[in-house]
Amino acid sequence: MSSDALDMLNSGTRRDLSQDSGYVPQSDPLEHSKTWGHSNGDDRERQHADYTVGWVCALHFELAASRAMLDRQHRDLLKKDNGPNEYVFGNIGAHNVVMACLPSGQYGTNNAAIVASNMRSSFPSIRVGLMVGIGDGVPSDVFDIRLGDVVFGKTVIQHDLGKMLPGGRVERTATRREAPHNLLNAISKLCALHESMPSEVPSILQHMLHRHPEMAREYAYPSQFEDQLFYATYDHQQPADCNRCDPLKSNHPNIHYGGVASGNLLVKDGKLRDELAKELGVICFEMEAAGLADQFPGITVRGICDYADSHKNKLWQRYAAATAAAYAKELLSTMAPSKIEAMPTAGAPEPTPNSLQHKLQARRAELLEFLRFEQLGSRHTSIKAAHKKTCEWLLKHEAYMDWLDPSKLSQHHGFLWISRKPGAGKSTLMKFAFGRTNKSLLAGKATASFFFHARGDELEKTILGLYRSLLLQLLESFPDLQSVLDDLSLVPLNQAACPAIEILQELFHNAILFLGQRSLTCFVDALDECNEGQVEDMVRYFENLGEDADEHHIKLRICFSSRHHPRIRVKNGLELTVENELGHKEDLERYVQNSLEEVGSETCTKSIQDQILKKADGVFIWVVLVLDILNKEIRDGRLFAIERRLRQIPGELSELFKDILLRGNDNMDDLLLCIQWILYAKRPLRRQEFCFAVLSGLQDGSLISYNSDQFTTDAMERFVVSSSKGLAETTKTKFETVQFIHESVRDFLIKDRGLQQLWPTIGEDFQGFSHGKLEQCCLSQIAFDVSTEIPTTEPLPKANSEQGRKLRQTAFEKFPFLGYATEHVLYHADAASGVAQNNFFDRFPLNTWIRLNNVFEKHEIRRYTPEADMTYILAERNFASLLKASIWRHQDDSARPRAERYGLPLFAALANGNRQAAEVLLGQSHSIPRHADMLQYLNSRKLFDSPKVRTPLLWAVEKKHASIVSFLLATYSLYLTTKDSKGRAVLQHGAMGGDETIMRMLLEAELDIEALCENGRTPLSYAAEYGREFAARLLIEKGAVVDSRCRTGRTPLYYAAKTGYESMVRVLIDEGVNVDAIDHFGWTPMHAAAFGKHEIVVKTLHDNEALIDQRDKGGVIPLQRAALRGSLAVVEFLFDHGASTYYRNKRGLTLLQQADAMGHTDVVNFLREKGSVGLGQSFC
């Protein structure tokens, strides 16, 4: 390094640190550790627990500058838990420091969080966290920030976290994080020192260059490059350098203290920089600090290398990295090790109980619990593991390897669909794949799974359970993504239950797009065990999610498995058919060889094995059942009969089940009741419940209590197998429920009419007959007086108290079936309505049932008073068939208010969304309450807790209950003007729903057709957005303004174009709307249609003379919107009709370059073919 450079570094320095450490020539870094600076002469072997300072850098040259600050470099430690980070160890004074850098080429908050999380996991003794490197300064009249200056981040806020609103505006949801108090105290001390003497940063830099002269060329003050600052509105022009731009004079490094804005988006626009800086109160922009806030709270130190504008200059980066590292060293030098407190977990002082931050944090935990459900993951647990050395073929399959190949994600959008015949072992294969993926996980990668289960609880066989499970697993894998739950527009602060499916979908979508460089791999098994309509919607949702993930370069993979389905397919996904694969056939062969006992000679055994495999036709469950049959013959010494027995066994799986069930006539009553309970129980029964449920129907009405000598676990397990003739089993899950050994057993009994073949005398309504039998089983238990064993009389302990829990536990232990019988007897009675139920009410012990219900009820508010009657109970529980009969029996008092939770049966039905029960009540004039009673209960009780629905009328309109709407309109006019939490009135809800009958009723009630919500939108605007053409026509006939504008200046035509409803667009155009109406952001309906990739709407607008080259306020034309969204069809149409491709954005990038950056190859190829500006051009 030249003496001039050293003199420059020396300027303003009071103390020369060169005396503290001698100059060491280039050599092995570990040799440096023997001679660098002061290390208290401590050369002992260090452990992970010795390191109390964690230092993270984003770029390799930042780590180089930071490493050069170490007084002494230590030897590497063995890695803990095989973590992915690479570390540099050393000390600064008495502080032991461990340093890490983000992986090469990976930037942003998410990657920083991963590195910091891994560091903290490996070094739990860390007390101080430092994020050190370069940043972009925000010069102003208050802060005269220059290149090479240092910014200390007193606060950090993520500037790009929030909800995207129309026009590109972001509603920010991130919370500001302050540096820990102990570090702020150290800053106060350092600032006080700087009041009387200059910073030691120049001396530390000089010291670094003395020790590492090879760094002088890149890390010294770049004197040959002047510091130049520009007005925010001054965009850089050609030529590409800054020789003609205005310079600033001083080069003296200063330290600035203020807010830092962090985000995954690089700010390169002076005007945007100033707008964000003013809004957020920051003086520096960078890309990593926000990622450390939750995982690794500490402080951020940034050396300024540019001004976050279009004049990017890499020549200052290394010097800026060195100044930041030097300041971090100076700060540590002021801190005594004994004064460093334990690192807080939240990165900021504890929020006050009433603060928004505290409420959001508490709500995150609460919402995660709402997502969780009891049987979460139980199906996965119950699936048998793959047999040894089977399923391995999948890992080498071409489709599976292509699915995992990151370079091919854009080809298949992350989808792999595994299909198979029933019983071919698909679930076992999925469990194997999920387990192997889990074992090979590295940091930044996560898996999630959901195994549909037709025999399980409601959430185990519906897409609601799927979305709850996948979202929970993702948020628990990457806790920083839990910030998506803070979006109050999706999940209000007073949310008191799990969000609806649509909200869960949006939350999962948002979380996926925040993954950054991390990845998620999902396994979803047995789609055929879910409702077909739900599956179609779910597959389309994941297809759209895959497309969005691909557009944002998010690594999302989804593996579906199901039986062969002729209609449901993924457009771009990979496919694999299990039974056609050689590897699957080899698995079957291996299983037969290992499981079939010796038949005699090797030749004979091989012959039998070949016959089994040929007859199996790839169905694994058939092989398992047949081997059980043949092995029993072999153990009985009947080797001579093996081939004949094999020939007798049916090749079809359903016929095999029939053969097994008809073999012998012993215990047929057990078999029938066993099948009825497994098929028609409200929920899967636990093993104890199942045994006592079957016995309750076989013991002539006697009450059976649990006896541990008679009912051992082994005995009950044998009873499950024997009563089902081997076709039922107990799951290996937490609750050990009873189920069929395979879903194909259920298919045989119901779809293949196996029940009618086995018991032809029962008749066609086997389901109704079975529910009647199960109702009798339940009644046989309830009818007995158990008060000597269980206290059932008032007063009972509170339901949610410890005494209440113990009471329920005692009841279950003594009478395992009594709890189920009490909870579900009415369900079975209602479901048996197709068979004779005339004397049910005479047989039902209502008072006994109420007492038992209150014992087993877990929520105090749901208990009944001793005076509760059947009509109220049935209305609240939505048992419509029984309710109709009950009303007929109690005509005189059906509308009488009760002392129960909702007062009136009708309100109990409405508040719980019980449509069938409400319609029964409304169809009976004597069950409708008097006007005064209705008003009293509606006004005094909070019956409708949904954030969107505040009154019964809004609820009924949203749920499209026309009969309830008619009743409420005719009876309670006071609800006509009520609005929901977003200011939407009844007519807006009707327009969104589009129900013809309801819309006519609402318009006949003379509601305001121009009623405005909080966003200034009319009912017609909502009808247009949701494509409700009939509702729109009705509104227009009533005189609705067709060109009305909301608060953002958008018309109904804009909303119809945005969502792609072409027929709605035509309806509005036929009414003479302005096809070029411009909103507050300069967008037209053509912009909206192009952005939404709606080619047919773009064509319709063009056919009606809409402008195609209209620029919005950002200077963007519709063609660019379509290109950036990857819509080749829209791009081709607009180009063919005269739209210009010679367009550059504010950064100077051509349309072709922008499309290429987004990875839209087909659009790039099209533009290149049409002669658009090429990729080779250089822009600043």
- Flag the least confident range among 228-232, 534-538, 824-828, 1169-1173: 228-232
pLDDT of residue 81: 64
- Cα–Cα distance for residue pair 284/257, rounded to 1 Å: 10
- Flag the least confident range among 133-142, 677-686, 1016-1025, 1045-1054: 133-142
pLDDT of residue 349: 42
Q: How large a percentage of the chain has pLDDT more than 90?
A: 26
pLDDT of residue 20: 35
Q: Which residue has the higher pLDDT, 492 or 592?
A: 592
pLDDT of residue 27: 31
- Cα–Cα distance for residue pair 872/1116, rounded to 1 Å: 61
Q: Which residue has the higher pLDDT, 418 or 440?
A: 418
> Band of the pLDDT at 493, cuts 50, 70, 90?
low
CB within 8 Å of 723: residues ≥ 6 apart: 667, 670, 671, 673, 674, 694
Q: Are 324 and 161 in contact (CB under 8 A)?
A: no
pLDDT of residue 666: 67
CB-CB neighbours of 413 under 10 Å:
24
Region 1008-1020: what's the mean pLDDT?
A: 90
Question: pLDDT tens digits for 964-1008?
Answer: 787 777 765 555 667 777 788 889 999 998 888 889 989 888 888
The answer to whether 3-339 and 357-583 have equal CATH topology is yes
Backbone angles phi, psi at 24, to 5 degrees: -120, 125
Region 818-830: what's the mean pLDDT?
A: 95
Tell me the whole-structure pTM to 2 decimals.
0.53
Q: Are 696 and 726 in contact (CB under 8 A)?
A: no
DSSP structure string for 331-343: HHHTS-GGGPPPP
pLDDT of residue 118: 83
Q: Which residue has the higher pLDDT, 595 or 1143?
A: 595
> Band of the pLDDT at 189, cuts 50, 70, 90?
confident
Q: Which has the closest alpha carbon to 184: 93, 280, 69, 300?
A: 300
pLDDT of residue 1160: 84
- Cα–Cα distance for residue pair 972/960, rounded to 1 Å: 18
- Flag the least confident range among 191-195, 424-428, 451-455, 491-495: 491-495
Q: Are 138 and 283 in contact (CB under 8 A)?
A: yes
Q: Which residue has the higher pLDDT, 589 or 1077?
A: 1077
CATH class of this structure's domain 3-339? alpha beta
To which residue do tokens 């209609």 refer? 567
Region 518-546: what's the mean pLDDT?
A: 88
> Band of the pLDDT at 1172, cuts 50, 70, 90?
low
Which CATH homologous superfamily contains domain 953-1118? Answer: Ankyrin repeat-containing domain (1.25.40.20)
881-to-360, 1097, 1126 alpha-carbon distances in Å: 44, 48, 54
Q: Which has the closest alpha carbon to 777: 873, 880, 683, 676?
A: 676
Region 153-172: what's the mean pLDDT?
A: 72
227-to-12, 141, 146, 908 alpha-carbon distances in Å: 19, 17, 7, 73
Just give the CATH number of 357-583.
3.40.50.300
pLDDT of residue 1174: 41
Q: Are 302 and 150 in contact (CB under 8 A)?
A: yes
Q: Which residue has the higher pLDDT, 324 or 929?
A: 324
Angle at Cα 524 formed by Cα 518 and Cα 525, nearest 5°? 150
Of 215-229, 371-385, 1023-1037, which has the strongest mean pLDDT?
A: 1023-1037
Q: Which residue has the higher pLDDT, 456 or 477?
A: 477
CB within 8 Å of 840: residues ≥ 6 apart: 775, 829, 882, 885
Domain extents in the chain:
3-339, 357-583, 596-649, 866-935, 953-1118
Question: pLDDT tens digits for 827-872?
Answer: 999 998 766 556 788 889 999 999 999 999 999 989 999 999 899 9
Region 432-445: what's the mean pLDDT?
A: 81
pLDDT of residue 164: 58
**What separation, in Å, do the N-terminal and C-terminal C-alpha atoms of the chain show?**
32
Residue-wise over 485-503: b if at least 16 C-beta within 10 A, else e?
bbbbebbeeebeebbebee
Question: pLDDT tens digits for 1138-1166?
Answer: 887 776 766 667 788 778 777 788 888 88
Residue 342 predicted with pLDDT over 50: no
> Band of the pLDDT at 928, cuts 50, 70, 90?
low
